[in-house]
Amino acid sequence: MTGPLGEGSRMLNDRYALGPAPLGRGGMGEVWPGHDTRLDREVAVKFLRFPDDSQDEDMVRRFSRESRITARLRHPGVPAVHDCGTKDGRPYLVMERVHGVSLADLIAEQERLSVGWAACVAAQVCSVLSAAHRASLVHRDLKPGNLVLEPDGTVKVLDFGLAVALDRTDMSQITRTGHTPGTPAYMAPEQLLEGRTTPLSDLYALGCTLYEMLTGQRVFTASTSFALASKQVSDSPTRVESLRADVPAPLAGLVEELLAKRPADRPADANEVYRRLIEHATSLEPIPGILHPPLLPSPHRMYGAALARVFG
């Protein structure tokens, strides 16, 4: 096997047996399936990829530091971090293995989601963002490809580890090598113009994602990254209600606020967005082939339903 450990090697740190092929690759990372032979459990192993394929010690140090911070983010919507290390100069994270369908694939298959499901997915993401922002973590690359809907209906937010490892000091090198800490189709204007990210930048990305769930279309499209970034900064998106008449006016208005060019014009925080979303998360229909049958008990839903009764 040719992989992150070299030709023919499949064992990492004498503990993690890697699968035969990666689960996915991105500009900054590569994820492999694995098995923790010590604890007999499935894992996912994520290796950091350097922008210019040469080792960057500063990125290694930041990755290790931020991995420890991310490991303290405890939330059912964030894959747990089990271990981290470096192999032949390449940092890696050992994480909980997630099973389900990415939101990007689900939208491609369904064309668009029902109002209830779009609101439910976005509300779960807000719960994760609330915990992350409280811990001073900003995702920086929130998008449908980084969200996974599991068979019991829960949503996992992926790629906190790689995203928070990048900060503004990386911008010149990353821009020079053609890699940006984010995806232009979901990046807030302040990210594109200044390389600056805040919790309100994550809310803009959530607005782009919610727009796509409801309409089946991206907020903006263009033939080049530069043209796309220019639209994010300067153009007004087509209004949700003009593309889909059954979206309630309050929900369409929330999307418009999330996509405000000025951070100060967006909702105050993820908690406010959650409160405005959850009332629309109703009439959730089964999704055959994606979700378990409705009558199959779900420990997560049981736990959540009981917890919802606390204080009201």
CA 123 to CA 145: how far, in whole Å? 17
Q: In the annotation, is 141 catalytic?
A: yes
Nearest residue to 93 via CA among 40, 164, 156, 150:
164
Residue with tokens 């499949």: 10
CA 257 to CA 78: how far, in whole Å? 26
Q: Are 261 and 233 in contact (CB under 8 A)?
A: yes
CA 107 to CA 211: how far, in whole Å? 11
Q: Are 175 and 133 in contact (CB under 8 A)?
A: no
Q: Which residues contact 35 (CB under 8 A, 6 or more apart)?
A: 16, 17, 41, 42, 43
| List 53, 141, 202, 235, catalytic entry | 141
Q: Are 198 and 269 in contact (CB under 8 A)?
A: no
Count other Cβ atoms within 10 Å, centred on residue 24: 13
Secondary structure class of 43 (helix, strand, coil): strand
Active site residues: 141
